[in-house]
Structure 1
Amino acid sequence: MSLLLAACVPSNAPPRPSAPPPRPLPAAPPLSVSAQPPVRPLARRDQPPADLLNAVQALGVSFAGQVGISIRDVDDGWAVGYNADLPMPQQSVSKLWVAIAVMDAIDRGTLSLSDSVTVRRSDLTVFHQPIRPLVGAEGYRTTVAALLEGAMTRSDNTCNDVLLWKVGGPATIRRVLAQKGVAGVGFGPGERVLQAKTAGLEWRPEWAGGAGFLQARANMSFEARDKALQRYLAAPYDGASANGITLGLALLQKGALLSNASTVHLLTLMRASKTGPLRLKSGLRPGWTFAHKTGTGQELGSLATGYNDVGLLRSPSGHNYAVAVMISSTRRPIPARMQLMGDVTRALIQAVD
Structure 2
Amino acid sequence: MKFSFSGRPLLAVSMGATVLAGCVSSAAIVPQPRAQQQQQQAVRGPAGAVTVPIGQPVRSQMPRPSGPVDPGFGRAPAGLNDRIFELWRAFPGKTGIAVQRIDGEWSLSQRGAELFPQQSVSKLWVTLSVLDAVDQGRMTLDQRVRIGPEDLVVFHQPLAARVRSEGSVTMSVRDLIETAITHSDNLANDSLLRTVGGPNAVRAFITKKDLGSIRFGPGERLLQAGTAGLTWQQSYSVGRNFEGARAALPAATRQAAMNNYLANPVDGASPSAIASALTRLARGTLLSPKSTEYLQGVLGRTKSGPRRLKAGLPPGWQFMHKTGTGQNLGGMTAGYNDIGIATAPDGTRYAIVVMMGSTTASIPARMALMQSVSSAVAEYHGK
* Category of TM-score, reference length = shorter chain: 0.7 to 0.9
The answer (yes or no) to whether the contact 1:297–1:307 under 8 Å persists in 2 is yes
CA distance in 2, matches of 1:252, 1:91: 20
AA partner of residue 80 (structure 1): L
Q: 2:34 matched to which residue of 1? A: none
User: 2: distance between equivalents of 1:46 and 1:68?
Assistant: 21
8 Å CA contact 1:114, 1:143 repeated in 2? yes
The percent of aligned pairs where both chains have the same amino acid is: 44
> What is the identity, as a one-letter code, of the residue corresponding to 1:115?
Q
Which one of the candidate residues 113, 123, 128 is aligned to 1:100? 128
Deviations 1:45-90 (Å, cap 9, x if unpaired)?
A: 9320001100111011000110000001112131111111110000
Aligned length: 309
Alignment partners' CA distance in 1, 2:113 and 2:215: 13
Listed one character per residue, the Cα deviations across residues 228-252 of structure 1 (whole Å, up to 9, x for unaligned) are 1111101011000000110110110
Q: Where does residue 299 of structure 1 map in the other structure?
A: 328
Deviations 1:195-228 (A, max 9, x none): 0000111112332346332221011122211111
Other-structure match for 1:152? 181
> Does the residue aligned with 2:280 lie in a helix, a strand or coil?
helix
For the 8 Å contact 1:297–1:305, the answer to whether it is kept is: yes
Q: Find the counterpart in structure 1 of residue 153 from structure 2.
A: 125
Aligned to 2:31: none
Which one of 276, 279, 285 corresponds to residue 314 of structure 2?
285
Q: In structure 1, which of residues 213, 219, 222 is the aligned counterpart of residue 242 of structure 2? A: 213
2:238 & 2:167 partners in 1: Cα distance? 15
Counterpart of 1:216, as a letter, is A
More displaced, 119-128 or 219-228? Answer: 219-228
Distance (whole Å) between structure 1 residues aligned to residue 170 and residue 214 of structure 2: 33
Separation in structure 1 between the aligned mates of residue 235 and residue 139 of structure 2, nearest angstrom: 30
Q: Give distance in 1, aligned partners of 2:228 and 2:350.
A: 35
The residue number in structure 1 matching 2:106 is 78
- Residue 225 (str. 1) matches residue 227 (str. 2): no
Matches within 5 A, 1:10-49: 46-49=74-77
Is residue 295–residue 308 contact of structure 1 (8 Å, CA) maintained in 2?
yes
- Given that 1:121 and 1:209 are in contact with CA atoms closer than 8 Å, whether structure 2 keeps it comes out as no
1:89 equivalent to 2:117? Answer: yes
The one of 291, 309, 318 aligned to 2:347: 318
Following superposition of structure 1 onto structure 2, how do residues 252-267 of structure 1 map, counting pairs within 5 Å?
252-267=281-296
Helix, strand or coil at the partner of 1:227: helix
Deviations 1:81-120 (A, max 9, x none): 1111110000000000001001111111111111111110
User: Structure 1 CA distance, aligned partners of 2:143 and 2:81?
Assistant: 46
SS in 1 for 2:105: coil
The letter of the residue matching 2:347 is G
State the shift of 1:141 in Å.
1.5
- Please tell me whether the aligned partners of residues 127 and 210 of structure 1 are also in contact (alpha carbons under 8 angstroms): no
| CA contact 2:100–2:279 (8 Å) conserved in 1 | yes
Q: Which residue of 2 aligns with 1:63?
A: 91
Rounded Cα–Cα distance in structure 2 between residues aligned with 1:77 and 1:183 = 19
Aligned pair partner of 1:112 in 116, 123, 140: 140
Q: Aligned partners of 1:211 and 1:341: how far apart in 2?
A: 31
What is the SS of the residue equivalent to 1:352? coil
The one of 235, 242, 262 equivalent to 2:271 is: 242
Higher relative contact order (CA 8 A, sep 6+): 1
Q: Do 1:126 and 1:210's aligned partners in 2 also have CA atoms closer than 8 Å?
A: no
- Once residues 122 and 73 of structure 1 are traced to their aligned partners in structure 2, the CA distance between those partners, rounded to angstroms, is 44
Q: Partner letter of residue 331 of structure 1?
A: T
Structure 2: which amino acid aligns with 1:223? A
Asked if structure 2 preserves the Cα contact closer than 8 Å seen for 1:119 and 1:140, the reply is yes
Distance 1:334 1:203 in 2: 29
Runs of 4+ in 1 over 6 A off after TM superposition: none
Give the Cα separation in 1 of the matches to 2:239 and 2:287: 34
Q: Deviations over 1:306-333 (max 9, x none)?
A: 0000001111111111010000001110
CA distance in 2, matches of 1:120, 1:159: 11
**Is the contact made by 1:290 and 1:311 (CA closer than 8 Å) also made in structure 2?**
yes
**Unmatched tracts of structure 1, length 5 or more:** 1-44
TM-score (norm 1): 0.86
SS of the equivalent of 2:138 reads coil
Partner of 2:33: none
In 2: Cα distance, 1:52 partner to 1:68 partner: 16
